[in-house]
Structure 1
C-alpha cells in the first residue's frame, strides 16, 4: 500500500490527482492505492493548524480530487467496455474477484444509478465497478452522469472532512488515523442503509399474500 502522507508531501495536490485516478481507473494497481486514507490527510494538510507535512491549498486539492476520480472512473469504464464480459471471468486475484462479484451484485440489485454512486464508497468495489459496468453494457450517459455525482460526493466530502478536522481540533495530527477510519465507516452508512432497506422490501414482498 502506498503511503498517502508521503505522496502528498512529495507531490502535493497533483499527487492526489494521480493516485485517485489510478485507484479508480487502473484495475491492476488500483486496489493497492489509498483512496479514503489519502483524501482525509489531504484535507487536513489544507487546514491552517496542520503542522506535519506541507500546507496545501484547499481549492486545488478539491479540484484535483474531483478530476482524478471522475477521469479515472471513465477510463475504467471504457477499459471494461473494450475488454467485454469475457475479461471478467479471467480475473485471478481473489480480492479483485470478490470485488467484481460485489460490483455485479450491486448493479443487478440496485440498478445502474444507485450502484454507481454506492460503489464509490466501498473499497475495492470502487476500483472494479467501473470496468465491470463497461463490460456489462451500462449505457454511457447513465454511467457518466451518476459516476460524476458519486465521485464528487465521495471525494469532496472526504477532503472537506479532513479540512474540518484540521480547523476544529487543536492537535489534528494526533487524530489523523482514527479520523480516517471514522470517515471510512461513515462513508459506508449509505450502503448499509440501502442494504437494510432492500432487505425490508424483500421481507414485505414475501409477507404480502398473493392475489387469488
Structure 2
C-alpha cells in the first residue's frame, strides 16, 4: 500500500468511507467496495479502527439507501418511463415488467443481496422506492445487508491481514526460500494433472 495512504488522518478516511459508500447507494457510480477494502487494509496497518470503519460504512449504506429509496418513491416512475421510451432496445417494457414482478416477490431479498453486488448497490434502493417495496420491509432488509456487508468485509480483511502479517513476520528467509522452491517444484505436476483430466 502506498506510504501516503498511511499518513491520511483517520477522520478523513472515515468521511471518505461514509460519503463514497453513501453516494454509491444513492445511484452514483462511485467505488464503494474499493474504498471499504482500502479502509480495511488501513486498519491492518493501525491507521484506523476496523470497528469504526465498519460502523461508518454501514451508516453510509443506510443514509445513501434511504435517500435513494426516497428519490425512487418520489420520481422514479417518471424517470423509468422516460428511459423506456428513450432506450427501448436497452430497456424494453418486458424487462421493466419482469423487474416489477421480481421486486413484488423477492424485493426484500434483492435489497439484502444488493450490498454484495457492485451493480445492485447503485440501483436497488431507487428501484425499491420506484417499485413500491414497503418502507418497513426495505428498512429492515437494507439494515441487515449493510451490517453484514460492512462488518463482514472490513473485519474479514482486517483479521486475514493480521494473520498474514504475523505469518510473514514469522517466516525466516530460509523458510521463505524453501516455500518458493516447493511451490515452483509443484507447478509441473499440477500442469500434468490438469492435462490428464
1:80–1:131 Cα contact (<8 Å) kept: yes
SS in 1 for 2:132: coil
1:24 and 2:25 are equivalent in the alignment = yes
RMSD: 3.4
2:70–2:126 Cα contact (<8 Å) kept: yes
2:103–2:131 Cα contact (<8 Å) kept: no
Query: Hey, what does 1:44 align to over in structure 2?
Result: 41
Give 1:1-212 correspondences, 5 Å limit.
9=8, 11-25=12-26, 27=27, 30-31=28-29, 33-47=30-44, 50=45, 55-91=47-83, 104=99, 107-108=102-103, 111-170=106-165
| Partner deviation per Cα, 1:140-186 (whole Å, 9 max, x = no partner) | 111111111111111111111211122011299xxxxxxxxxxxxxx
Name the CA shift for 1:97/1:127 in 2 (closer, same or farther; >3 Å).
farther
Query: Hey, what does 2:190 align to over in structure 1?
Result: none
Which runs of 5 or more residues in structure 1 are unaligned? 173-212
Name the CA shift for 1:128/1:88 in 2 (closer, same or farther; >3 Å).
same
More helix by share: 2
| Partner deviation per Cα, 1:108-141 (whole Å, 9 max, x = no partner) | 4851221111122111221111111101111111
The runs of at least 4 consecutive aligned structure 1 residues that moved more than 4 Å come to none
Q: How many angstroms does 1:106 deviate by?
A: 8.3
1:44–1:165 Cα contact (<8 Å) kept: no
| Aligned pairs, number | 156
1:77–1:134 Cα contact (<8 Å) kept: yes
Q: How many angstroms does 1:88 deviate by?
A: 1.7
